[in-house]
Amino acid sequence: MPYDGYDRLQALVVDDFDAFRTTVTRMLLDLGVQKVDIALNGEDALAKCKHQYYDLVLCDYNLGNGKNGQQVLEKLRFDQVLSRQTLFLLVSAESSKSIVMAAYDSEPDAYLTKPITAKTLHQRLDRLLHQRDAMLEVYRAIEAGQTDLAVDLCREKIDIGNRYASICQKLLGQLYLDNNAFDRAEDLYREVLEARQLEWAQVGMARVKFGQGDEEIAIQWLKDILLSNPLCMPAYDALVACYAARDEQEELQAVLQQAVNISPIAILRQQRLAQVAAENSDYSTAAEAYRRTVKLGEHSCHDEIGNHLSFGRCTAALFKEDVCLAKTLATEAISVLENIRGRFDQNVEEGLQAKFIESQLCVGQGNEHRAQQLLQEAVAKVEQLGAVSDLETDLDCVQALIAMGEQRKADQLLESLVQRYQHDQPALNRIDRLLQEPVSEVNRRRVAEINHQGIGFYDQGLYREAIASFKQARRLFPNHIGVQLNLVQALVGETKEHGRDESIMALCLGSMKRVEININPTHVQYQRYRKLQTIVQEMMQEKQQ
Amino acid sequence: MSNDKNKLDFSLVLASSVHDMKNSLGMLLNSLENLIRDNPPTNDDQAKQFATLQYETSRINNELIQLLSIYRLEHDRLPLNIDAYFVADMLEEQLARNDMLFSTRGIDVTVVCDDALNWYFDNELVGGVVHNVLANSARYGDKELKVSADVVDGVLCICIEDDGEGYPAAMIKAPEEIMAGVSFTSGSTKLGLFFAAEVARMHCQKDVCGYIKLENGGSLGGGVFKLYLP
């Protein structure tokens, strides 16, 4: 069915290639489009869209230097420049599927694959414009927050059974989920699934179960969906929500890692992986993921100063685990930190954090002189200010002092922090991560409980369960020597029982390394540490034979 | 040890190079189309040459796309995105892609499909199959082409008929086994049919899977390609 309103439309064509712009512009003018503007790159396109309303934006994915088409769209939606009335079409030479993987928050209204012919473009536009006009009232209701109206309109269209029924079903399911109407969403998805096992309805059903509190079923269903289609990104995102709600940090990291492997250019997932890995004290994964996040942020509206700082922070932490890897990342991390000022409007605290972090990285690189200089500058600034208000800055300072070998000063600062934050449990949790023994009563009890539970499992010979307990404790208190040694002991038990395993050996060595940094011969656990060290060494040698 | 790491994964190299070729060819096809549009053929001979240029470039392009799809299929990187679509939309879209080819070869196309016919399939993959068969029929057909679609006993049948010589007898017997006899001498790898059979097979509903069928005769007396999707 031809669309008869082309003479009222205004369009924007975005591409860095002249030939494409000319061709598409001519095709649109031939269709009778009233006005066609052109933009040569992302910045140009953003500026034009801010100044003028367009019905159609045809944007190439590849725009040379600067933002790509997906990033232009993200920025437009982020700044709420595009109204629902504007159709954004992403054009590429790739099959649309590889790009679909990149989409995170913002999906274009359609993908067009090159080569574009006049006739295909005409057909696509006819269909999209009819759809836009038919759906406009629904989107307007959603934008105005009139959920009930939007629901009614969707149901009306589904009942009529016209060509927009399927879009309305998807939209309606989402509306129900967003408004916690899980029973209604369940009915809707069940009806769809009775006709056909469609993936979007399967994912929707799993999200219903999650909403109803049945996370176990939701996780099972989502895993099944991913088994038959490992590229189903919405299923990963739903699974992430499930694990996050259950506080299952290791599974959470694993599923984020899988999603990121498949869609490495989605910046928000990459950032989430980095955060979760850092919480899990897995600094090699965290540093690498932050590195990618910073890189992806270059032309993205999701670029944040926190990612730049965290990249440095995790790389600095990595020096305690894997000096080799840390050294390869440190140079890049330092240049990222030094470029922060030109890139962001940093506040005083962030400026101090950057200095403290860079100082640690310089120590790692063997550049003591520069490290000392940065540390002194930052400390002088803190003294000048009197005190800092962000705990993060203080913790970075503690780490920088430790890296510089000024343990006494670091301990003093930690003590004062414990005093200052004695009534702030979340703050104490963060401080406790830096301490060998948790200082807050709550965390002392917590580590004792988990330890107790783990030892119980160990005594019954349930090594795997014991390992899980000690790993959980280690995540919360990575510097706790007792916890680390308990973990090693459980790993040794598991190895004796079930034979050697690479991942277990790696865990053992990682824990021993951590202890080695923190322990000295006067420590009460020193004898035990030496004994376990001998056993682990023997295990390593057996392996090599 | 280092040998293993340095060893090239040839299929990966091939795939990325095919990817490059496909993109270049896409550009070439676009320029060609502009060229023909700005300089319409002035005699039959020219029209024929234009058609050949177009058919051959688009054939290479299709073949490359299928190569890539088969590579992804083998590496589990070809996701199946089944949803409800209007069959007529998909057919129209593929006819539009081949529009220039039909008009330069002077082929009349008839479509018999209910506008409201709604079915479940992967639009991109099935579209690719139809596109390919259409290009083939434009090459081997004479003056007419008929595309029809209908649902019989819960199975969608898309039928593409031409008025050419028809398929060779061996092909009709076992279209799925065609790949076993990839022939370099005949100049055709029959990749298109293999791809079509694979795409059909991926479309399953409960225990029934899709398939393709080749016949001669039909309403136009030439080759008949049928794609069945449950």
Q: What is the DSSP string of A34-55?
A: SEEEEESSHHHHHHHHHHS--S
**B5 CA: distance to closest CA in chain A (Å):** 19
**B213 CA: distance to closest CA in chain A (Å):** 25
Domain end point (choices B41, B57, B79): B79
Task: Decide if A429 is inside a domain.
Answer: no
User: Do residues B99 and B72 both lie within one domain?
Assistant: no
List chain A residues with CB under 8 Å of B100: 117
Q: Which tokens hold the place of A237?
A: 């995102």
CATH of the domain at B140: 3.30.565.10
pLDDT greater than 60 at residue A328: yes
Task: Decide if A518 is inside a domain.
Answer: yes
The rounded mean pLDDT for chain A is: 89
**For residue range A231-255, what is the model confidence (pLDDT) as tens digits?**
888 999 999 999 999 988 889 999 9
Query: Are the Cβ atoms of A198 and B120 closer than 8 angstroms?
Result: yes
Tell which of A21, A29, A120 to mutate to test the B interface (max B CBs under 10 Å).
A120
User: Do residues A42 and A107 both lie within one domain?
Assistant: yes
**A330 CA: distance to closest CA in chain B (Å):** 26
Identity of the amino acid at A264: P
User: Do residues A166 and A100 both lie within one domain?
Assistant: no
CATH of the domain at A50: 3.40.50.2300
Query: Are the Cβ atoms of B83 and A166 closer than 8 angstroms?
Result: yes
Task: Decide if A468 is inside a domain.
Answer: yes
Are the C-beta atoms of residues A358 and A350 closer than 8 Å to each other?
A: no
Taking the CB of residue B62, how many other CB atoms lie within 10 A of it? 20
User: Do residues B172 and B208 both lie within one domain?
Assistant: yes
Query: How confident is the model at residue A371, as a pLDDT?
Result: 95
What residue has token string 């840390």? A326
Confidence of residue B185 (pLDDT cuts 50, 70, 90): very low
Q: Which tokens hold the place of A514?
A: 């951590």
Interface of A with B (CB under 8 A): 19, 23, 93-97, 114-117, 119-120, 122-124, 127, 163, 166, 196, 198-200, 229-232
Query: How confident is the model at residue B211, as a pLDDT?
Result: 92
Q: How far apart are CA B138 and CA B51, in angstroms?
A: 10
Residue B183: DSSP 8-state? B
User: Do residues B92 and B199 both lie within one domain?
Assistant: yes
Task: Decide if A521 is inside a domain.
Answer: yes
In chain B, the residue whose alpha carbon lies closest to the alpha carbon of A92 is B23
What residues pair up with B211 in beta bridges, in sequence order? B228
Measured between CB atoms, which of B27, B30, B120 is closest to A196?
Answer: B120
Query: How confident is the model at residue A541, as a pLDDT?
Result: 82
Confidence of residue B188 (pLDDT cuts 50, 70, 90): low
123-182 in chain B: CB under 8 A from chain A: 124
pLDDT greater than 90 at residue A359: yes
User: Do residues A11 and A109 both lie within one domain?
Assistant: yes
User: Do residues B60 and B73 both lie within one domain?
Assistant: yes
Q: How far is CA A11 from the centre of its chain?
A: 35
User: Do residues B147 and B36 both lie within one domain?
Assistant: no
Domain end point (choices A116, A140, A164): A140
What residues pair up with A87 in beta bridges, in sequence order? A56
User: Do residues A127 and A41 both lie within one domain?
Assistant: yes
User: Do residues B21 and B122 both lie within one domain?
Assistant: no
Query: Are the Cβ atoms of A120 and B84 closer than 8 angstroms?
Result: no
Taking the CB of residue A81, how many other CB atoms lie within 10 A of it? 14
User: Do residues B54 and B105 both lie within one domain?
Assistant: no
Domain end point (choices A140, A166, A191): A140
Task: Decide if A371 is inside a domain.
Answer: no
Query: How confident is the model at residue A105, as a pLDDT?
Result: 60
B34–A contact, CB cutoff 8 A: yes
Task: Decide if A307 is inside a domain.
Answer: no
Confidence of residue B186 (pLDDT cuts 50, 70, 90): very low
Q: Which of A97, A77, A79, A99 is CA-nearest to residue A88? A: A77
**For residue range A176-188, what is the model confidence (pLDDT) as tens digits?**
999 999 999 999 9
User: Do residues B203 and B116 both lie within one domain?
Assistant: yes
Confidence of residue A37 (pLDDT cuts 50, 70, 90): very high
Query: How confident is the model at residue B2, as a pLDDT?
Result: 43
Q: Which of B174, B107, B157 is CA-nearest to residue B134? A: B107
**For residue range A377-401, what is the model confidence (pLDDT) as tens digits?**
999 999 998 878 899 999 999 999 9
Query: How confident is the model at residue A365, as a pLDDT?
Result: 93
Task: Decide if A489 is inside a domain.
Answer: yes
Query: How confident is the model at residue A315, as a pLDDT?
Result: 96
Q: Which tokens hold the place of A363?
A: 């120590």
Give percent above pLDDT 90 in chain A: 54
In the A/B pair of chains, how many CB contacts fall below 8 A? 66
User: Do residues B71 and B93 both lie within one domain?
Assistant: no
Query: How confident is the model at residue B51, as a pLDDT?
Result: 79
A329-355 average pLDDT score:
93
User: Do residues A200 and A96 both lie within one domain?
Assistant: no
Which of A165-169, A200-204, A297-301, B55-59 has maximum average pLDDT? A200-204
User: Do residues B39 and B142 both lie within one domain?
Assistant: no
**B217 CA: distance to closest CA in chain A (Å):** 31
User: Do residues A95 and A136 both lie within one domain?
Assistant: yes
A516-540 average pLDDT score:
86
Q: What range does the domain containing B63 cover?
A: 1-79
User: Do residues A27 and A116 both lie within one domain?
Assistant: yes
What total number of domains does chain A contain? Answer: 3
Query: How confident is the model at residue A439, as a pLDDT?
Result: 75
CATH of the domain at A448: 1.25.40.10
List chain B residues with CB under 8 Å of A196: 82, 84, 120, 205
Query: How confident is the model at residue A193, as a pLDDT?
Result: 93
Domain end point (choices B79, B113, B140): B79
Give percent above pLDDT 90 in chain B: 24
Q: What range does the domain containing A100 cover?
A: 6-140
Tell which of B65, B77, B125, B195 to mutate to test the A interface (max A CBs under 10 Å).
B77
User: Do residues B144 and B47 both lie within one domain?
Assistant: no
User: Do residues A57 and A71 both lie within one domain?
Assistant: yes
Q: How far apart are CA A49 and CA A39, in angstroms?
A: 10
Q: Which of A42, A41, A36 is CA-nearest to residue A12? A: A36
A79-98 average pLDDT score:
80
Q: What are phi and psi of A251, to 5 degrees?
A: -65, -40
Taking the CB of residue A417, how many other CB atoms lie within 10 A of it? 21
Q: Which of A348, A374, A352 is CA-nearest to residue A361? A: A374
pTM (predicted TM-score):
0.83
**For residue range A447-506, what is the model confidence (pLDDT) as tens digits?**
888 889 999 999 999 999 999 899 888 888 888 888 999 999 999 998 888 887 888 888
Domain end point (choices B31, B59, B79): B79
User: Do residues B124 and B164 both lie within one domain?
Assistant: yes
**For residue range B17-65, what is the model confidence (pLDDT) as tens digits?**
887 888 788 778 777 877 887 788 888 888 888 878 877 887 788 788 8
List chain B residues with CB under 8 Å of A123: 92-93, 96
Are the C-beta atoms of residues A225 and A206 closer than 8 Å to each other?
A: yes
Which of A77-86, A308-317, A515-524 has maximum average pLDDT? A308-317
User: Do residues A29 and A130 both lie within one domain?
Assistant: yes
Identity of the amino acid at A254: A
List chain A residues with CB under 8 Å of B116: 163
**What is the ipTM metric for this complex?**
0.76
Are the C-beta atoms of residues A276 and A253 closer than 8 Å to each other?
A: yes
Strand pairing of A87-92 and A56-60? parallel
**For residue range A44-79, what is the model confidence (pLDDT) as tens digits?**
999 999 999 999 999 998 888 889 898 999 999 989
User: Do residues A128 and A166 both lie within one domain?
Assistant: no
User: Do residues A466 and A523 both lie within one domain?
Assistant: yes
Query: How confident is the model at residue A100, as a pLDDT?
Result: 54
What total number of domains does chain B contain? Answer: 2
Task: Decide if A92 is inside a domain.
Answer: yes
What residue has token string 């129900």? A176
71-90 in chain B: CB under 8 A from chain A: 76-84, 86, 89
Query: Are the Cβ atoms of B83 and A198 closer than 8 angstroms?
Result: yes
User: Do residues A509 and A458 both lie within one domain?
Assistant: yes
Query: How confident is the model at residue A289, as a pLDDT?
Result: 97
Query: How confident is the model at residue A151, as a pLDDT?
Result: 93
pLDDT greater than 60 at residue B187: no
